């Protein structure tokens, strides 16, 4: 399911690399539990409706933020947390939350990303390679990560394929810093075909790695 949050305007500039602050807020709402571990079964978008400034972003008309999760218990933790503390960052607060159930997608659906997909692979020398969406290994690696998450969720998936639309003009690669660590991630249009449960699951948990840190959310 998905929580669609409406936020008030900020009163201080939001830094360009604000994503880790959203992660921190999310963890505070969730409290002490095992939901936010190494393989997250949730994802969240970046903030929408921004105006770019020289030193960061402003949201004079407020912002929208979407948080998606597979486990209904997590949605309850979040709602309880938001009720207790609506603060986000730099003056922004939650002023409305709507709960969206998982849509019916059929067995073929195309998404765009509301936060970029991060895919990494370890080289033979132990260093880490960040894959670009044009890399031929990109789609298969996304599928592997989604299957790992399905195993963790004890969800059995039948055959499905994930295909990045390489010709989509909106595709772009962006370097994202999370606490001074650079991550090369990808805004793309991506098609999932096959098992509808795989499509629904991806809508909730996102695609790729570190979805619990602001990567891989779908819309």
In whole angstroms, what is the distance from residue 60 CA to residue 12 CA?
10
CA distance 189 to 33: 33
Domains 2-100 and 108-213 share a fold: yes
Q: Which two tokens stand for residue 204?
A: 């909730």
208 three-state secondary structure: coil
Are the beta carbons of 42 and 23 closer than 8 angstroms? no
Q: What is the residue-averaged pLDDT of the chain?
A: 95
Report how far residue 61's alpha carbon sits from residue 79's, in angstroms, rounded to the nearest whole number.
23
Q: Is the pLDDT of residue 36 over 60?
A: no
Three-state SS at 141: helix
Strand intervals (E) in 62-179:
63-69, 87-89, 92-100, 108-112, 120-122, 128-130, 160-164, 172-178
Report the 10 Å Cβ neighbour count for 86: 15
Task: Express each pLDDT in 109-158 by its tens digit.
Answer: 999 999 999 999 999 898 899 999 999 999 999 999 999 999 999 999 99
pLDDT digits (tens, 9 = 90+) for 155-206: 999 999 999 999 999 999 999 988 778 899 999 999 999 999 999 999 999 9
- Among 61, 62, 66, 52, which Cα is nearest to 15's? 52
| Residue 12 pLDDT level (bands cut at 50, 70, 90) | very high
Per the CB < 8 A criterion, the answer to whether 174 and 116 are in contact is: yes
Task: Supply the pLDDT for residue 39.
Answer: 79
Q: Inform me whether the pLDDT recorded for 37 exceeds 80.
A: no
- Give every CB contact of residue 144 below 8 A, 6+ residues apart in sequence: none
Q: pLDDT above 90 covers what percent of the chain?
A: 90
CATH of 108-213 among 3.40.50.300, 3.30.70.1900, 3.30.460.80, 3.40.50.1100: 3.30.70.1900
CATH number of 2-100: 3.30.70.1890
The pLDDT tens digits of the residues spanning 182-196 come to 899 999 999 999 999
Number of H helices, E strands in the chain: 4, 14
Q: Which of 66, 63, 67, 59 is nearest to 41 (CA)?
A: 67
**Where are the chain's structural domains?**
2-100, 108-213
Is 9:92 a contact under the CB 8 Å cutoff?
yes
């Amino acid at each position: 399911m998905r929580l669609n949050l409406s936020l008030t305007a900020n009163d201080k500039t939001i830094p360009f690399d604000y994503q880790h602050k959203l992660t921190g807020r999310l963890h505070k709402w969730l409290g002490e539990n095992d939901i936010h571990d190494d393989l997250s079964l949730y994802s969240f978008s970046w903030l929408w409706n921004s105006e770019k400034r020289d030193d960061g972003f402003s949201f004079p008309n407020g912002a929208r933020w979407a948080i998606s999760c597979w486990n209904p218990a997590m949605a309850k933790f979040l709602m309880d947390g938001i009720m207790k503390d609506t603060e986000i960052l730099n003056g922004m607060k939650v002023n409305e939350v709507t709960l969206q159930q998982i849509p019916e997608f059929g067995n073929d659906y195309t998404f765009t990303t509301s936060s970029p997909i991060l895919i990494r692979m370890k080289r033979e020398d132990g260093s880490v390679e960040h894959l670009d969406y044009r890399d031929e290994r990109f789609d298969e690696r996304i599928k592997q990560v989604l299957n790992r998450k399905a195993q963790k969720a004890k969800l059995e998936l039948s055959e499905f394929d994930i295909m990045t639309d390489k010709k989509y003009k909106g595709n772009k690669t962006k370097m994202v810093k999370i606490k001074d660590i650079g991550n090369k991630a990808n805004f793309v249009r991506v098609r999932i075909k096959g098992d509808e449960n795989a499509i629904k699951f991806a809508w909730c948990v996102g695609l790729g790695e570190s979805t619990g840190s602001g990567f891989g959310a779908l819309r």
